[in-house]
Structure 1
């Protein structure tokens, strides 16, 4: 039988302590090393969790909150350029080229210019994609160089996809017109009508934006001021259009007017379909025709907040007198960098009387030349 053990001296105590710590350390390391394997195995067995769909915040009325300042400026044109045919999205290389060209265009447009230099087309990279609206305006909107323009510097992305056009038909073009339907008006229609201020365009008269900023459907104009502010109340949604200080009212849960009046931007009513604001517009006036359609035109728009900085916009166009079936497109608004200030365009501008006065002077000159030619012709009036 063994007797009681003598107490440990200080050195034996430290040796035993080190042995215990080492043993616990080995156990701990082994468990930590095995943990990732166990976690990975558990994750492999568990189903992958999909990201929760975005839920738009609610306003004081319990509606999805669409309010704020938004922009639809973009490099993506309304209709697809022919070279892209049925290509819905740009390739990464095409996106890089277009956005790089836009950046270079801005840099060159901000260079100092000689005020005494003759008029010339603005410089562009040789491989730049020149937008049709820029070409139609002579490349600089009648005297504004690129430094004054803000048409957008990025390709339009919808759910992350870089789109080649805002219209989403297979070829990115409006569908064929029905037999007997009037032809679509040309871009800049009315430019040669100088008989009266009433024959000049609404944009030139500072009544509505040139292009289709106000809509419906709503599109960027390709030059500048493609900005909006959305307001919401319990019974209406208001869309302030910067170009040209237009205020579009959408009456919620209402009915279309039946008095035959066709107000600017048409008669818009709306309702909520879940998180989506659906807007239906009829009674669009003739001077706001869309590709020649107005009398029987119905435009249905859908606004859906799909992210903190993304407002999805989709539209459908119907006119049985022009097209066989409805068609449309989509894009996403992005947050505007800033707020909307007054667009100080008004119908009393100096250009309008100057244009009409110039036309009258030209007519008088031609009449005088015709009279002179007649009097000098054989058998004409004597002097």
Structure 2
């Protein structure tokens, strides 16, 4: 992002509250590097600025075979990462030029095959390593419930199915937000911020009264003001309304007023997300989140990720320029209907993007 644009964005934030730093902090000392103390910026705040990446092969939900185990053994972690390296090498190989039919195209990074693949693994960057926090490789991003699985409430599942009965190819408003270049797909924009197939970088900039998180995917700029009050519930914004406060070395962010299209794993009306950003070493920010929505989930949902420092730059994400995908998607659906064919995904559950 052009530094001049960032200055303008920060200057236009409605400044409120105080930058005072309470002493209380709730981060497990075991995950903080031995003897490490987060550096302070010019405002006396813990310095979170820089470019960070949450790219990882750790999944959002835990494989049931691990039960309630949050950490992998070193041998298990080595085996998983080794298998991932071999798969990546295979998927990045040149496409067989003898292939004549699109349906015979090989598997791509997302796991799709044939025309659903789009492009091979050369164009993606989902990460190559598991999340490691406090030296432990994790079995899942989710830490609660104890089984690392989303505890979807029965009423929410039924309501989610009803919203899809009209068909997901009826018009652009029914398509995914990423396809419409509104926010990044797969939850990468947040909150909570989740890793996807590529563009997993975040640039953090701070002033005394605001924090900006520039999301590489779709170039979303999320502005977190320090202190203040949320607007009325009827005011809904993309990525919600985020208010931060400092608790010791941790930035705690509460986000409400999210649009229903951005609910975690389906549309929800009153989801609240509480995030915690704690710099635990020169190379890592511990990112923790809690999703509060009793109507959607039968139990509290919490997760942890590692935001790892990178010297990479944020790439421009020119989503709209030359983007003919929406025209093609809807035109293809209309043609299929004329031919009396069922449109895959038009009824029932939509396949989630990003693999999480």
Q: TM-score range by the shorter chain?
A: 0.7 to 0.9
Give the aligned partner of residue 211 of structure 1. 186
| Aligned equivalent of 1:260, options 231, 234, 250 | 234
- Quote the Cα distance in structure 1 between the aligned partners of 2:215 and 2:165: 23
- Quote the Cα distance in structure 1 between the aligned partners of 2:92 and 2:270: 46
| Aligned equivalent of 1:239, options 213, 218, 226 | 213
State whether structure 2 residue 171 is matched by structure 1 residue 196. Answer: yes
1:293, 1:319 within 8 Å by CA — same for their partners in 2? no
Q: TM-score, normalised by structure 1?
A: 0.73
C-alpha RMSD of the superposition: 2.6
In 2 relative to 1, CA 108–243 (structure 1 residues): closer, same or farther, beyond 3 Å? same
- Quote the Cα distance in structure 2 between the aligned partners of 1:146 and 1:340: 20
State whether structure 2 residue 341 is matched by structure 1 residue 359. Answer: no
Give the aligned partner of residue 146 of structure 1. 121
- Quote the Cα distance in structure 2 between the aligned partners of 1:74 and 1:264: 25
2:110, 2:117 within 8 Å by CA — same for their partners in 1? no
Matches within 5 A, 1:49-88: 53-88=35-70
| Aligned equivalent of 1:171, options 114, 139, 147 | 147
Deviation at 1:104, TM superposition (A): 1.7
Gaps of 5+ in 1: 1-50, 124-132, 368-383
Instruction: Please list every run of at least 4 consecutive aligned residues from structure 1 whose deviation after the TM superposition is greater than 6 angstroms.
Output: none
- Quote the Cα distance in structure 2 between the aligned partners of 1:348 and 1:111: 27
**Could you report, residue by residue, the CA deviation over 1:205-256 in whole angstroms, capped at 9, with x for unpaired residues?**
11111101111111101x1111110011111100011111111111111111
In 2 relative to 1, CA 333–168 (structure 1 residues): closer, same or farther, beyond 3 Å? same
- Quote the Cα distance in structure 2 between the aligned partners of 1:139 and 1:277: 44
1:76, 1:156 within 8 Å by CA — same for their partners in 2? yes
Deviation at 1:175, TM superposition (A): 2.7
State whether structure 2 residue 315 is matched by structure 1 residue 328. Answer: no
Deviation at 1:196, TM superposition (A): 1.1
Gaps of 5+ in 2: 1-32, 342-356
1:278, 1:303 within 8 Å by CA — same for their partners in 2? yes
**Could you report, residue by residue, the CA deviation over 1:100-152 in whole angstroms, capped at 9, with x for unpaired residues?**
122222322333333342434349xxxxxxxxx933x3499623222222111
Greater relative CO (CA pairs within 8 A, separation 6+): 2
Question: Secondary structure of the equivalent of 2:235?
Answer: coil
Give the aligned partner of residue 88 of structure 2. 106
In 2 relative to 1, CA 365–293 (structure 1 residues): closer, same or farther, beyond 3 Å? closer
Question: Secondary structure of the equivalent of 1:182?
Answer: helix
- Quote the Cα distance in structure 1 between the aligned partners of 2:156 and 2:150: 14
Deviation at 1:97, TM superposition (A): 1.1
Moved more, 143-152 or 307-316: 143-152
1:207, 1:346 within 8 Å by CA — same for their partners in 2? no
Deviation at 1:281, TM superposition (A): 0.4
State whether structure 2 residue 254 is matched by structure 1 residue 280. Answer: yes
Is the radius of gyration larger for structure 1 or structure 2? 1
Question: Secondary structure of the equivalent of 1:362?
Answer: helix
Give the aligned partner of residue 121 of structure 1. 106
1:206, 1:347 within 8 Å by CA — same for their partners in 2? no
